[in-house]
Amino acid sequence: MPAVASEAACSSARETPTLGPIMQLCLLLLLLFALCGARPSAAARSLSLRGSWRIRSGNGSLELPGEVPGCVHNALFQRNLIQDPYYRFNDLNYRWISLDNWTYSKEFQIPFDISGWQKVNLVFEGVDTVAKVLLNNVLIGKTNNMFKRYSFDITQVVRPRNSIELHFQSPVLYAEQQSRAHTRYEVPPNCPPNVQKGECHVNFIRKEQCSFSWDWGPSFPTQGIWKDVRIEAYNICHLDYFAFSPVYDNHAQGWNLEIESSFDVVSSKPVSGQAIVEIPKLQTQQTYSIELQPGERIVKLFVKINKNITVETWWPHGHGSQTGYNMTILFKLNKGLNIKKSAKVYFRTVELIQEPIEGSPGLSFYFKINRVPIFLKGSNWIPADSFQDRVTSDLLATLLQSAVDANMNALRVWGGGIYERDEFYELCDELGIMVWQDFMFACALYPTDQDFMDSVRTEVAHQIRRLKSHPSIIVWSGNNENEAALMMNWYGIDFRHLHTYIKDYVTLYVKNIREVVLAGDKTRPFITSSPTNGAKSVAEGWLSANPYDKHFGDVHFYDYTSNCWDWNIFPKARFASEYGYQSWPSFSTLEKVSSKEDWSYKSRFSLHRQHHENGNNEMLLQAGLHFKLPQSTDPLRAFKDTIYLTQVMQAQCVKTETEFYRRSRSEIVDGEGHTMGALYWQLNDIWPAPSWASLEYGGKWKMLHYFARHFFAPLLPVGFEDKGVFFVYGVSDLHSDHSVTLTVRVHTWSSLEPLCSRGTGRLVMKAGEAVLLYQEQVSELLRRCGNCTRQSCVVSFYLSANSKLSSPTNYHFLSSLKEAVGLRKAHITAIISQQEDTFVFDLETSAVAPFVWLDVGSVPGRFSDNGFLMTEKTRTILFYPWRPTSKSELEQSFHVTSLTDIY
């Protein structure tokens, strides 16, 4: 019981001196019990308002229960009032939902006596997006930013029984109103391209930008309470948040921890006491005296980590362990108030190195983790669903584990989506995935009026506090492509008005976002945009005349019409943070959201699902450069074969481009090179549709993802041709030198026996480098191997260091496969057996088979390899299921395709 309650009981007892001792004692006890009910025994109480709410449409014609966290679309779907929003054309059919103004309401009781608390707050971790909040018919606040945390003081309004309502405004109509009210000048773009079938003016609302549509996603501008909501009641003081940053002191050669805690002190007098920080495994315990004055107060603690204990640092995947340490912080305050928090602390340093390179104009652009240069291998992350309440913990774990399983060490959280939930970053910490974190601004110019700026500043400050303790986040980036959009004039701005937009850009990203970032987190770099020229953009007033300069910063590169097998088309840039090619997801993924009439490549559905202008034709044109297009007269067979071929094309294109970036890490050619990052676009899908993703909606691996497992391998041979010479580079992400042997084999398409094989002597593969290991004239290679032509033969090669260390087997095509001579239809069989939780597929082929694709339909899981070139008669592949399955289910679902099956 708090001391004040004891004092009240004593003084009340002293007011009854005429009563007998027994009566006095009875009354004293009764009063004590009564006051225990009136005054809380704890320093704070919390009541979650998650769970069932009521939802009603604007005119009241529709009312239904809905879950919180959640959104209107999913509530309607779960009550069978609408179909799956992803089914066929429902993104258009259900446009009415986002154009209506919905109301969320709930009645609830406070399960404790509310009158005894000095402060009661209503806290929303996330509201999507524009709403008026009423408690007991009193307007207590408004929301207009999906990315902010809202806390409303309801001390004077809350009662034992309460009703709460959130009156939402259509985000589409709100964005339009805000745009119309901005009368001084246009803030483009007004609307997305027609092919995206989206809504307009998304840049005027602080909401997930891709929810109004994107070139890979639908328009579903949701409404709802998308994160946690609760009531917090407290006396004396309350801990609003605490965050921390590990900092390495170069001078003292030791680690420190900077801890920041924010308190709301509601006591009329100062609150004093101690803060005790403990990290047991580091034998670190420190005690601090603190005094909190009434009001909002921030306490900063500086913890010196015991220098006698070796601190194990956090490393990206493939470079070391992800050691974390359990920390507790206990605030022992007067009046018997104890507040305890626990967290996991990781120690690592990050630097963004931009310095001159010998033999090259410009500056480097690469990251050092714990003083070691790291090549970033990975992809770009988009929201895993249009409806965040459908994203489960299992799905997040599957997608992120799949990234690691493909030898990735980095993901860029793209700026047109959301700041991901805490669980996402915790998984990245544990898995060793470095995160390039964009702020949520993408492919648009933005207003800079005071209300918008104030909202953005609060948003950024909140996200910095929430996320800065995660070692996985290595860089903050202000936006996606907005420097390029402005300086390359994507929106046809009148040159006379350019200075206005430049001023707005600097106001938003430099004078506001950058300022808030630097105030809240000095432990990691900040760049204004991606792509950017980095230090050169800064020197040019934060905007470069050519943000795609290959000698500075990062680049985004897309070219769908040039021959993707020709490495000369790719930029030898410092860092490639976006690049890619589209493909279609597997038939088993599409089947769930389509009907029979949709199952052809030129159906209305196939055209509707493609949100990238001319995307379906571009895929066929690129595929047609090297492959014969499917020729089946059966429409369904032709559709499935075309899906397969788009995945082959995508995998081969991204492989060629990524291998080019990886082999460019250590060399300068014609002033270009030292590439230190390859993040292809994109990792995951938001819905089942054609896109650049390597993981389909739900997590199924496309062929590209299996290829990524190879082309991101820590030890990799890369083969390519230049002017008739065949070269093999060795690429190493390892931390030590290794003695390796390179084996080069030549196979004919017509035989399962290799035509010839050559092994080099022992070669030194330097740590963290890409070096030339082998070169030979193609004509000499073909002559040496006997009866061989470019059209009849294929080259494979691999590196071996010892029994434990070897590279994947790579290959190089000497001609387009549509010109291949001797390629026969392969009859491939599989015998499936079970070994504990894993299934073994023993394959046998009658002929050399390119792009062998094993598919088990909708059975969730992944293979140990897929999409491979089968040059031997037998091969064993493992299948790792993500849920319990059986041999019989796999046998019924199994289908194998190789390239000649589609002719």
Q: Which residues are catalytic?
A: 481, 578
- Phi/psi for 733 (5° steps) reads -105, 10
User: Which residues, in sequence order, are bridge partners of residue 60?
Assistant: none
3-state secondary structure of 560: coil
3-state secondary structure of 266: coil
From the centroid of its chain, how far is CA 272? 42
Three-state SS string over 210-247 comes to HHEEECCEEECCCCECCCCEEEEEECCEEEEEEEEEEE
Cα 722 from Cα 490, distance rounded (Å): 35
Cα 503 from Cα 509, distance rounded (Å): 10
Contacts of 537 (CB under 8 A, 6+ apart): 483, 528, 529, 543, 544, 547, 552, 553
Angular region, 471: left φ>0, alpha ψ -120 to 50, beta rest: alpha
The pair of three-digit structure tokens given for residue 678, joined into one six-digit string: 């390859």
Buried b (16+ CB within 10 A) or exposed e, 30-48: ebbeebeeebbeebbbebe
Contacts of 760 (CB under 8 A, 6+ apart): 741, 742, 743, 744, 773, 774
Only one residue has tokens 């708090």, namely: 2
Cα 778 from Cα 108, distance rounded (Å): 78
- Phi/psi for 620 (5° steps) reads -70, -40
Cα 141 from Cα 424, distance rounded (Å): 30
User: Which strands make up the sheet holding 271-279, listed edge to edge?
Assistant: 284-292, 271-279, 325-333, 337-345
Q: Find, among 613, 593, 624, the residue nearest to 697 by Cα.
A: 593
The pair of three-digit structure tokens given for residue 840, joined into one six-digit string: 């073994």
Q: Find, among 517, 420, 421, 426, the residue nearest to 465 by Cα.
A: 517
In this structure, the dihedral spanned by the alpha carbons of residues 14, 19, 20 and 22, taken in order and rounded to 10 degrees, is: -70
